[in-house]
Amino acid sequence: MRWYTRGLKVVDTVPDAKGAARLRADLAVGKAGARFRQGRWHDAVRFARETVQYAERGGNRAALAHALYLLDASLTTLGSAEAAQYRGRALAIYEELGDLVGAANTLNNLGVAAYYEGRWDDSVELYERSHTTRERAGDIVGGAMSTNNLAEVLSDQGHLDHARTQFEATWRTFAGVRFKFGEAVVLGNLARLEARSGNTALALELLDDSLGRMEQLGAINFAAEIRARRVECLLLAGEDDRAMTEAESLAAATGPSGDPLFRAGLQRLLGIALARRGDGPAARACLDESVDLADKAGAPFELAQSLVGRANAGGLSPDDKLADERRAGELFARLGVVRSWVPLVP
């Protein structure tokens, strides 16, 4: 970010207005990308919007495509319906420019959007198209990220052995080229898989490794996601007191704003921890909020998990409990999920 800021100061000396706008677009989109990697979604959106203005003034089609891609990705993560305005626009520009890597990035992002929206068949198809395009471009690191994303779907569906093979292959690629952010991401995914396999001690070790890397990079929001996975792992391990302490600390640190899907997941974990402690009313309030957040965000996988958590925590009428279980079952079936790992209340 410091180098991009220095570059923008130099652009002030460029006499040609159109040429200066082209350069500003390149630098502004660099800042947007850095903030996106840090998980600072609102800042990424702000810099991407600036990029669009500069790119249109300077005729910088490449920067425009990159900005549209980042707007879609950031707004999708924030659960904003505005993301739909930008979806797919970058792909058309990248194809016009013959930029295979840009097209592959956009296809991957479209896959991410489809994943959150519960269109997992579409998501897998888009990840595979992205991977094929990356192979044509010789983009080894990007291809590994597509493999990682495909493995996430497999893991969430319950195909753990297949997913583990894919994650391990991704890890070898990222470690081989020293792609630090990718290493941190795939370690977090391997950790969740190990927790789901019952290897909670190993999962916690991997999560700590991933968390340290995310914090070193300054990827604060990604680090918060890893901390939430620690809470989930502790609940799966039956370490309820530690889970409660870490969940409360994370909730205090992140506050009520930000990514609605993150909040839905954290409220679910808090609700389960409270139910295990025997605090039924507080647990119900957390789980109700989790269900509401996931439902409003249009995220069926998150919603199904929260419905399972609420149905299992107690305090519902028999009819309401059955309704939650049926709705969760229908959502899981639509997504191809063969097993759920929502921590339950004994």
Radius of gyration of the chain (CA): 21
Residue 255, domain member (yes or no): no
Residues 6+ apart with CB under 8 A from 139: 100, 101, 104
What pLDDT sits at residue 87?
Answer: 83
Q: Are 105 and 91 in contact (CB under 8 A)?
A: no
Judgement on whether residues 320 and 291 belong to the same structural domain of the protein: yes
Query: Nearest-CA neighbor of 261 among 290, 231, 221, 228?
Result: 290
User: 172 with 194, same domain?
Assistant: no
Residue ranges of the chain whose pLDDT lies below 70 = 257-258
Which amino acid belongs to residue 113? Answer: A
| Structural domain ending residue among the three candidates 195, 215, 249 | 249
Domain for residue 68, yes or no? Answer: yes
User: What is the span of the domain harbouring residue 151?
Assistant: 99-178
Q: How far apart are CA 79 and CA 117, in angstroms?
A: 10
**CA–CA separation, 25 vs 250, rounded Å?**
36
Q: Are residues 67 and 150 in the same domain?
A: no
DSSP 8-state code for residue 256: S
Pair 292, 285: CB distance under 8 Å = no
Q: Which of 92, 112, 133 is the last residue of a domain?
A: 92
Burial of residue 46 (CB within 10 Å: 0-12, 13-18, 19+) is: middle
DSSP of 116-175, one letter per residue?
HTT-HHHHHHHHHHHHHHHHHHT-HHHHHHHHHHHHHHHHHHT-HHHHHHHHHHHHHHHH
Looking at the structure of the chain, the number of domains it has is 4
pLDDT of residue 258: 66
Is 149 within the bounds of a domain? yes
Nearest to 263 by CA among 208, 225, 311: 225
Residues in the chain: 346
**What pLDDT is stored for residue 254 in this prediction?**
86
Q: Indicate if 71 and 109 belong to the same structural domain.
A: no
Residues 82 and 143 occupy one common structural domain: no
Query: What per-residue confidence (pLDDT) applies to 212?
Result: 97
pLDDT at position 31 = 97
pLDDT given for residue 140 in this prediction = 94
Residue 28, in any domain of the structure: yes
Whole-number pLDDT of residue 84:
84
**Does one domain contain both 326 and 274?**
yes
Predicted local distance difference test score (pLDDT) of residue 30 = 97
Are residues 84 and 147 both part of a single domain?
A: no
Of 81, 82, 102, residue with least CA distance to 91: 102
Residue 344, domain member (yes or no): no
